Chains A and B, each alone.
Chain A
């Protein structure tokens, strides 16, 4: 158990809908990362937050957004969902969000868009 929690574990929704994925980092970690993992692709970095502020942005679609709250939990919002958005979404956390820190991953949310 990494100490990172994610909810829900599974999510089934329809195209065009909007969903929110939630992540609680390890106790003491200030930085949160979001990743997408499709069946035929490796982990794709989406976005990073540090202490409530956006720090880095990866291949995140405009239909997706995220935020980190004062209590350091983070939410990833996916809107106007398409079939291709079906994937595993992982959250990871680290203490300072620096480049050479180990990131600890949560168990993931499996999203299925029908």
Chain B
């Protein structure tokens, strides 16, 4: 099956600092990636996506970087706020796996006020 792993299961940052959450994937045929945020007791919430023909994509306070050479994905959150505390998942999709999404187990981000 697919392997979508996260380097760090937990991450603590000071409020106002930047956060970087990493994700490794194993399928070189993956062509679409999404970052989700999941707060306690809630379902995953779409944050940002990126297609394999891009290296970087920016949203509001978030940036996703894709390095296809080493099959690595990262989510950067600028000026982290207490409301950013949540579990963050990366998900990958590849046509050679029936276009299903495979999700990592998640990184828990805690923002220290």
Contacts and interface: CB of A to CB of B under 8 A. Distances in A.
Contacts of B77: none
Kindly name the residue among B42, B49, B89 whose own CB sees the greatest number of chain A CB atoms within 10 A.
B42
A104 B25 CA distance: 22
Interface string A73-109: 0000000000000000010100000011011111110
Q: How large is the interface on A (under 10, 10 to 19, 20 to 34, 35 or more residues)?
A: 20 to 34
Q: Chain A interface mostly helix, strand, loop or mixed?
A: loop
Interface string B4-43: 1000000000000000000000000000101010000111
A105 B49 contact: no
Interface of B: 4, 32, 34, 36, 41-46, 49, 51, 89, 91, 93, 95, 98-106
A85 B101 CA distance: 21
B104 to A, nearest CB: 5
A4 interface: yes
Interface of A: 2, 4, 40-45, 56, 58, 90, 92, 99-100, 102-108
Nearest to A106: B43
